[in-house]
Each structure stands twice: as structure tokens, then as C-alpha cells.
Structure 1
Amino acid sequence: MAVEMSRERFEELVGDALDEVPEELLALMNNVVILVEDDPPANDPDLLGLYEGHALTDRGWDYSLVLPDRIFLYRRPILRICDSEEDVVDEVAVTVVHEIAHHFGIDDERLHELGWD
């Protein structure tokens, strides 16, 4: 059964998840913003999060004057797969870590190997 939660509360949980990321790691993030959207792109309605941009490992000497990379967390799909607020807390934390990992150039296969499904 899907969890009902206001956008404000969901955004608060995203902030809490970011607070759990080690400060040293956050300090290494560069030119990236984290956004909450209600719904993912229509062609992937079950998507929980998305990293859009140039991973740090792909940036070269010519990386300059570009818009920030974007990490999206999609509220409705996350709420749809959760049964309780505790589940939402856990899923938001996993999704935040997953998308930050993409910013650092870690792909889905490696995340799976590390247990971050």
C-alpha cells in the first residue's frame, strides 16, 4: 500500500538523507544540484531517481561553463513502493546514495555488486 506524504515532508527526508552522507564526500561533489520532482519522465514511470550530467570521472580539462548536473528524486514512485514512513526514509536514503554514486562515476553494475540495489 502506498504511503501518503506531503511534498514538504518528503523534501525534509531528502535533507535528512543528505545529512547522513559523510561531509568529506559532500565536499567532493562539484557543480551538482539535488531536486525533488513528483513524477519521473513519462517513458519510465517507475524510476525512483536519476542522475543527469557529467560524472566527475568523465570531466576533462575542457569541463567549464556548464549548467550544474542534476540529481532527481521522484516522490510519487518512491511513495508508491513503500508501506510506511520508515520505508520511505530507507528508500530515500538508498536513492540518494545511488544517485550520488553516479556523480562519482560509479555505475549500476558496481552499485549492485556493493549491495546498493
Structure 2
Amino acid sequence: MPAHMADAPAFCQVAPDAAAIEAMARAALARIPAPFAEHLADVVLLIEDYADDETLAALGIDEPIELTGLYHGRPLGEKSSFDSAAMPDRIHLYRLPILWEWIDTGVRLDDLVHHVVVHEVGHHFGLSDDDMHALEAAAG
């Protein structure tokens, strides 16, 4: 158990449900600075316990606990007018791997969810890891 939870009352030690993770993720999305925020209105946010077997296999991941989030869609710079019939872009957050990382690292859960959301938003924009770190700092 993370040190910051050791003194918490027992009722505070219940794992957050999907709705709680979604609320944290929506708060993180609301902190994304312009001009990025203007392009996120149509991105669908999904909270699932784990990635499905097909997704894990496609990514070459054996352990579902290793994947905390995933962006599905074409990066914004690669979109064209022919994409109108395509599925909407989606950000998947995987609740149990996020909770596992939270317990393992002791990072505040809302900070961890923010980090994962910003990383997946970065994929939406086709950003490099350095650009994602700058976006995360700006959305801090």
C-alpha cells in the first residue's frame, strides 16, 4: 500500500471504480491547453478494466497489466476528408493496470491518470515523447 494511504480510514481504501477514473480523465482533458483542446471534442473516452485479448495480441503484450491506456484512431495530421465514415477516435484507459501502477509507484492517482491521458492525447496529435512531456507540463 502506498505510504500516503497508510493512515487513511478503511473506507478510503476502496479501489476507485470506472466512474471515478473517468471523472479524473475528464478533468485531465479539461486542463489540456489550446490549441490542442479544440481538437478533442469528438474523441471518445472509454474506461475498461483491461485491454481485450485482440488488442494485447496486436501490440505484442503478454500481460494485460502492462497497458494503462491506448489511443485508437488516426493522428490528427494524417486525417483527410475521406475519414468521415471512420469510427471516432477513442482513448481507452485501462482501470486495473492504472490502479496497479498507482499502488506500485505511490504516485497520486489523479496525477497518474493525467499522465496517461496526456500521453494518449499526444498520440492523437502524432506528438513525440518530448512533445508529450511539454504538453503534460503545460496542462499541469
Of 100, 114, 131, the match for 1:93: 114
Secondary structure (helix, strand or coil) at the match of 1:63 reads: helix
Q: 2-side partners of 1:68 and 1:103: how far apart?
A: 11
Of 46, 69, 93, the match for 1:49: 69
Q: 1-side partners of 2:132 and 2:91: how far apart?
A: 20
Q: Where is the helix percentage greater, Structure 1 or Structure 2?
A: 2
Change over 3 Å in CA distance of 1:31–1:90 after alignment to 2: same
Give 4+ residue runs of structure 1 displaced > 6 Å after superposition: none
Deviation at 1:62, TM superposition (A): 2.4
TM-score (ref. length: structure 2): 0.68
Check whether the contact 2:44–2:89 (CA below 8 A) recurs between aligned residues: yes
Amino acid at match of 1:91: L
Deviation at 1:50, TM superposition (A): 0.3
| Deviation by residue 1:29-48 (Cα, 9 ceiling, x = unmatched) | 36421111111233331101
**Unpaired runs of at least 5, structure 2:** 3-12, 134-140
The structure with more radius of gyration: 2
User: 1:20-31 maps to which residues of 2 (within 5 A)?
Assistant: 20-29=31-40, 31=42
Secondary structure (helix, strand or coil) at the match of 2:71 reads: strand
Check whether the contact 2:73–2:88 (CA below 8 A) recurs between aligned residues: yes
User: RMSD value over aligned CA atoms?
Assistant: 2.4
- Percent identity, aligned pairs only, is 34
TM-score (ref. length: structure 1): 0.79
**Unpaired runs of at least 5, structure 1:** none
